[in-house]
Structure 1
Amino acid sequence: MRSNQEQPYYNQPYDIKNCDAEPIRSISRIQSYGILLVTDIEMTKWFHVSENVYEELKSTSLTQFLLKFLSPSELQDLTSENAWKPKSINLNKKSYLLIKHKDGGLIYLEFELEAKPSEHEFNEALQSSILSISNSPDLNIFLDQVLEEVYKITDYEHIMIYEFDQEFNGLVIRERRADHRPSYLGLKFPASDIPEQARALYFEESIRTIADVNAEQLIIRNNNKETPEQGINLSKVHVRGVSPIHLEYLKNIGVTASFSVAIVLENQLWGLIACHHTKANLIDFKKRNSLKFLSNFISSNLKNLNREEIRTKKLTATVNQQEILFNLLDSKNLVHSLIENKPNLLDIINAKGIYLKSQDTSKGSNHLISQEKLDGLVNWLNEKESFDVLAYNKSITVLPTEIYDDKMAGILVIQLSENTKDYIIFFREAQELEIKWAGNPNKTKTFDKEKGRLTPRKSFEKWIGKTKNTAVPWSDEDIELAHLIKSEIRELLYRKFTELTILNKELDNAYKSLESFTYTVSHDLKSPLRAIEGFTQILAEDYQDKMDEHGLQLLGMISNGVDRMKQFIEDILSFSKLNNDALFFHEINLKNFIFEIWKDFEIGAPHAQLIIADQLPKVYGDSRLMHQIFSNLISNSIKYVSKGESPLIRIDCEKDDNYSTFYYSDNGIGIPVKYREKVFELFRRLVSDNEYEGSGIGLSIVKKAVERHGGEIKITDKNGNGSKFIITLPTNKKTLDFLDRK
């Protein structure tokens, strides 16, 4: 038999000096308490098997091997596509539990040594565990109860609850241990202890067990006569072997057996229940299933307890927020209401200082940052793509050197408007924070030339590190409150001040020029154009036989030019009416409304396709302007389709209490980033008339119509070809009443 030292640990090469590259899904070992057999889907041939039955399987057929411990009917059940319930079998005078699962085109059979506790007693213990945890009134009591119940199920000596930070360092926030085990409570374990690929596995299999670090692992042998179409993937195999780096890590920490259970919260790996034992200890199938159930139950309860904690914090913030909004409605000074009055935004979000930039006004409070650096920070934000909230607790890693200041090590930024580049910025100063580590995090792994691989740290003694240029991190509650502030300000505050000012300036200038402009277009241009059109028709009808082919071509060009000029004038008139005509708001079933518009385009573009989300909400708006918005967008999508493609338009939506956000996308030629603001300017075109005809007014009409509804429109990135517009429109009468007052 080939020795373990001669057999590579992995069936693929990797960078042995990079722990994150270790291919742990395809390790060529299993743990000693089991057997692994990998076959094709029909189970007529085998590809891989653990060495403890390799010789036996080589000397017989796969079917004959399986019939050693299964009856013909059981074998038929095993090879069928029906769900397989793990079954007790006897093989080579040992009792195993036979577990089956499928991955791609392979069947994985695990034979796991079977423990036989009283199932009745165990189920009662699990039921008791769940009832006990359900009665936990707060987070700390809940976590302590979890430790006790996991101990009852597993009898492990050292059980820890380990919460990940944003960088996936794990802090031990609760532990239950035997007296002879060292305490790690309050210590952090660096993220490199559980590298990224190991964390990812917890989403596929929430429990990882290692029964005995001192037992020699069994080699997975290949069938040299058969080659599978896909590589082996041990992600869901419980007897999967253990990385030699991790085995050494566990030995260094004084552990013989370990298991860990994932705690997943909001689709994120919140933490682990990490368990250590100084003797070999197998967590069998039934216990694992119970722990999986318990893990889901813990995640659900933790979510509820977390929400309750957030709800309590929000309640305090909401009281202050409502008072701020109440004061703001009666105030003429946005800055005073938000950062100078009492209470102010610093009473909602825990920060050292605040800075508000609103149009041409800026004001700060409780900070000592120079105006030059503040201006630099605002300019840096102006260069970024549109966002709602940004949060950094180590801004030195993202800010240019000339901008950075220790007093802005932590920044939480709310973008009030992408168009006017206005922001609320909260600051936290850099602090020299003490972090207690389980061993030196700077010496987690070193390369051992003799072993030819990385070797983990040997000490887990408390090591105190200090951070520089780092602020206290912004919590999820801080970020959620920032989003809430933006939402409230958008509705009640920001629109009252900034949009009113901007709109008044625009209207003042527009109204002065549009009246005379419209008159000129209507009379001075239309009349001679009608004359040209009339004379062209006379020439075409009465003198056609007297013209050669070139003359007729020129006449056709004149007619086409007249038609385009007429359309151009109509577009200008439509644009001018957007400012002058009264609006009549009412509830509009937008899905039906858009389909009616679509009928006008179907005849001319029979291959075009429109896909609208099923739950498109009703909006409050003016039918004429709504028609302008969607007819111009659809017209552009059909007109500017990529060569050789049929137009495809998609409309999706997200709704909140006051506004609906529509996502309009197509598969056209797209709009480069540097032109995404300019395309809304009057007469601005990105392509020549020779490529695509147009007036350069359509998107100006769309933008003006959206803004007259108090909404916003912008262009964002889209996967693949085409353009993606984000449009916000009001969804209730309350918002429109506010617009009417405006």
Structure 2
Amino acid sequence: MTVEQQLPPAFGAANLSNCEREQIHLAGSIQPYGALVVVREPDHVIIQESENAASFLGFRHRLGGLSLRTLGGSVAERLRDGVTVDVGSIPVATACTVGAMNTPYTALVHRSANGELVVEFERAVEMSDLSVDLERFVPEIVAAANLQSLCDEAAHIFRKLTGYDRVMVYRFDDEGHGEVFSETRKPDLEAFLGNRYPASDIPQIARRLYERSRVRLLADVNYRPAPLIPRLSPISGRDLDMSLCFLRSVSPIHIQYLKNMGVDATLVVSLMVSGKLWGLVSCHHYSPRFLNFEMRSVCELVAEVLATRIAALESFMRGQGELAARRLEQRG
């Protein structure tokens, strides 16, 4: 085996024989429904940017070499006064404005594995009040009496919240193989309920990223990636670790897989039960679909409630099984 064969394939260079080792966290580009900059500290000078960052934020020229303060608005002040992030911690969201017109954005800030301060922007939108829906949905989850009814209810809740054409609750077994455990869909769509998939369908690298970044959005399978400029981080001299970037580009192999299914957009929400990836809420749409930060946060909250209820029901079932076993032993 040559050195090239032993090395994990770079992002976009994998094929079906080695895709399980593709370095999907080193994508080097983003989905263009937002913008990304890496800033130097402590002066907050931009040293790396997505190709679309200037146009997305309303500027005519590249942003590299500019400080956040020169961008105008409140973004520099918000980062200086209100955001503290540690390496590997989940991104911190802050509302800010950029430019002379004080255009509103949501900024998601995190520190990468190599220490870079990464700021991702998406356009702020006016949100409807979701508290009424949450007040109704959470008790429905908590009241579910068994695992099947719980996951069926959860699939319906996620579809009501997000509007996706298909929502599936996908459960992993002890060996990592997956099953579509619950599903709700538009009536004209083929049913996937009960379908089983080998563990190799979701590589270990992807599973680890699902554990770290709990909500993953692909807004349009036909997007044109916006590459990072420069490609290598000026701080580390290596590819930027994009594990926690919500805009991170999606593997071309996965893109093709979705296209073969006729799927145009996806949302995947992790179900972490007792510290392990129990399964996924997987949503498919058959036209492009974007979900803003606030709605993604609601989905993450509902998933946490769902995971807590799954843990409680599984614990109860284990307890019942142990009780039944003891009774049988006593009768013997």
TM-score (norm 2): 0.84
* Closer/same/farther in 2, CA of residues 288 and 43 from structure 1, 3 Å limit: farther
Match of 1:315 in 2: 323
Offset of residue 26 of structure 1: 0.9
Tell me, yes or no, if the aligned pair for 2:172 and 2:179 is still in contact at 8 Å: yes
SS at match of 1:24: coil
Report the Cα distance in structure 2 between the residues aligned to 1:277 and 1:169, rounded to whole angstroms: 24
Tell me, yes or no, if the aligned pair for 2:14 and 2:22 is still in contact at 8 Å: yes
Candidates 284, 300, 304, aligned match of 1:292: 300
- In the alignment, is residue 114 of structure 1 matched against residue 124 of structure 2? yes
Offset of residue 144 of structure 1: 1.3
Report the Cα distance in structure 1 between the residues aligned to 2:269 and 2:318, rounded to whole angstroms: 25
Q: Which runs of 5+ in 2 are unaligned?
A: 1-8, 85-91
Q: After superposition, where does 1:264-663 map in structure 2 within 5 Å?
A: 264-324=272-332
Match of 2:6 in 1: none
Match of 1:70 in 2: 73
Tell me, yes or no, if the aligned pair for 1:96 and 1:112 is still in contact at 8 Å: yes
Offset of residue 60 of structure 1: 6.8
Amino acid at match of 1:229: S
The CA RMSD measured in Å over matched residues stands at 2.6
Amino acid at match of 1:125: D
Amino acid at match of 1:105: G
SS at match of 1:252: helix
Match of 1:29 in 2: 29
Report the Cα distance in structure 1 between the residues aligned to 2:47 and 2:64, rounded to whole angstroms: 14
Match of 2:42 in 1: 42
Report the Cα distance in structure 1 between the residues aligned to 2:300 and 2:143, rounded to whole angstroms: 20
Tell me, yes or no, if the aligned pair for 2:11 and 2:251 is still in contact at 8 Å: no
Specify which structure has the higher proportion of helix: 1
Report the Cα distance in structure 2 between the residues aligned to 1:115 and 1:52, rounded to whole angstroms: 20
- In the alignment, is residue 105 of structure 1 matched against residue 108 of structure 2? no
Deviation readout 1:679-735 (Å, 9 max, x if unpaired):
xxxxxxxxxxxxxxxxxxxxxxxxxxxxxxxxxxxxxxxxxxxxxxxxxxxxxxxxx
Offset of residue 45 of structure 1: 3.1
* Closer/same/farther in 2, CA of residues 13 and 134 from structure 1, 3 Å limit: closer
Match of 1:133 in 2: 141
Report the Cα distance in structure 1 between the residues aligned to 2:136 and 2:158, rounded to whole angstroms: 12
Report the Cα distance in structure 2 between the residues aligned to 1:245 and 1:223, rounded to whole angstroms: 21
Amino acid at match of 1:127: E
Deviation readout 1:491-531 (Å, 9 max, x if unpaired):
xxxxxxxxxxxxxxxxxxxxxxxxxxxxxxxxxxxxxxxxx
Report the Cα distance in structure 2 between the residues aligned to 1:236 and 1:281, rounded to whole angstroms: 21
Report the Cα distance in structure 2 between the residues aligned to 1:201 and 1:156, rounded to whole angstroms: 23
SS at match of 1:279: coil
Offset of residue 283 of structure 1: 1.9
Tell me, yes or no, if the aligned pair for 1:37 and 1:48 is still in contact at 8 Å: yes
TM-score (norm 1): 0.39
Offset of residue 80 of structure 1: 4.6
* Closer/same/farther in 2, CA of residues 24 and 223 from structure 1, 3 Å limit: closer
Tell me, yes or no, if the aligned pair for 1:257 and 1:279 is still in contact at 8 Å: yes
Report the Cα distance in structure 2 between the residues aligned to 1:134 and 1:59, rounded to whole angstroms: 48
Larger radius of gyration: 1
Match of 1:563 in 2: none
Tell me, yes or no, if the aligned pair for 1:42 and 1:79 is still in contact at 8 Å: no
Match of 1:365 in 2: none
Report the Cα distance in structure 2 between the residues aligned to 1:173 and 1:187, rounded to whole angstroms: 8
- In the alignment, is residue 243 of structure 1 matched against residue 251 of structure 2? yes
Offset of residue 85 of structure 1: 4.5
Amino acid at match of 2:264: T
Report the Cα distance in structure 1 between the residues aligned to 2:220 and 2:250, rounded to whole angstroms: 10
Report the Cα distance in structure 2 between the residues aligned to 1:78 and 1:117, rounded to whole angstroms: 23
SS at match of 1:282: coil
Report the Cα distance in structure 2 between the residues aligned to 1:13 and 1:251, rounded to whole angstroms: 16
Return the structure number with greater relative CO, CA threshold 8 A, min gap 6: 2
Deviation readout 1:509-555 (Å, 9 max, x if unpaired):
xxxxxxxxxxxxxxxxxxxxxxxxxxxxxxxxxxxxxxxxxxxxxxx
Report the Cα distance in structure 2 between the residues aligned to 1:61 and 1:52, rounded to whole angstroms: 16
Amino acid at match of 1:132: E
Offset of residue 11 of structure 1: 6.9
- In the alignment, is residue 142 of structure 1 matched against residue 150 of structure 2? yes
Tell me, yes or no, if the aligned pair for 2:78 and 2:96 is still in contact at 8 Å: no
Aligned-residue identity in percent: 27
